[in-house]
Structure 1
């Protein structure tokens, strides 16, 4: 039986995914709502499959994915997220994810993706790995694609209205580091104010 760990900060999603996967014969060995506990549980429980959201507290999903890959544990990671595939699918693939499913589609797709992933295949949206179609503002998308994973995480938290201190606490960084990231974001996204940064993030569903 395949062992599964679910990392998602939405209880309803965790409940739905757990029910679906158990019906398909997966054993859900753990679930958590944050990235920090997710890494600890992955190391202790050694699941075959991790279903991971991107926008989660205490280490975002991309950082969790990077750390899991660095540990070299024999597990597959399937991203299940509400974030735009056109902005995140390639980034997740490069970070080591085996699959990517949008929460905006049919949740049954998670089962198909999970089966493919544990069988050794990859499962990604075909139209999002080679281009940025589907993004309303492609100029925005090109600039956003230039951001590092950490910069992207800071941008998302800023768009959610968090203060520098809140972001620093959630990412285990200093206030000075967050200020540096904000400066980089202003430069890379060709913005002059924090308001412009937040507008861009929300325009691209990053908030």
Structure 2
């Protein structure tokens, strides 16, 4: 599974309405960091005819070197069952509840295809901002995330082909002389060696 670069400047919104498709309530959030959980994947949820997961990196996505931030992504849960060459253009929103003001901050963006099945925000929120209870995101060691996915277009490129070349392949020719007057028709098998294999 590949993760591409996140939107450089994601659209940040505020909403009173909860997420339409999925809510993830995490109690005792600090245990994720104490137990060195680098990546938490939610249960699957369905939106726009596809299955998705919400992915949280409590201490930032290590592969993106963003340790001062919490990372959040939406991932397609079962992309292997989709036809070859598929692409899904979707608007995804990831929510975080401000428990003090009873509203959500939302970051949105995202497009999915067969090589990009997970995408989101490496720097969803700084750990300093997230951890300060005055901001309302982590209160009593509890927090609430959410997700919405709206598919705007689906495409399939039809048939696809994959070519894998063999590096340093050995070319071999085998010449066979047959004297038809001496050929025994009951024995027409000719075996020759190429490399370590018989043909």
Please give the TM-score of this superposition, normalised by the length of structure 1. Answer: 0.21
- Larger gyration radius, structure 1 or structure 2: 2
* Higher helix proportion: 1
TM-score (norm: length of structure 2): 0.21
Q: Which has the higher contact order (CA 8 A, sep 6+)?
A: 2
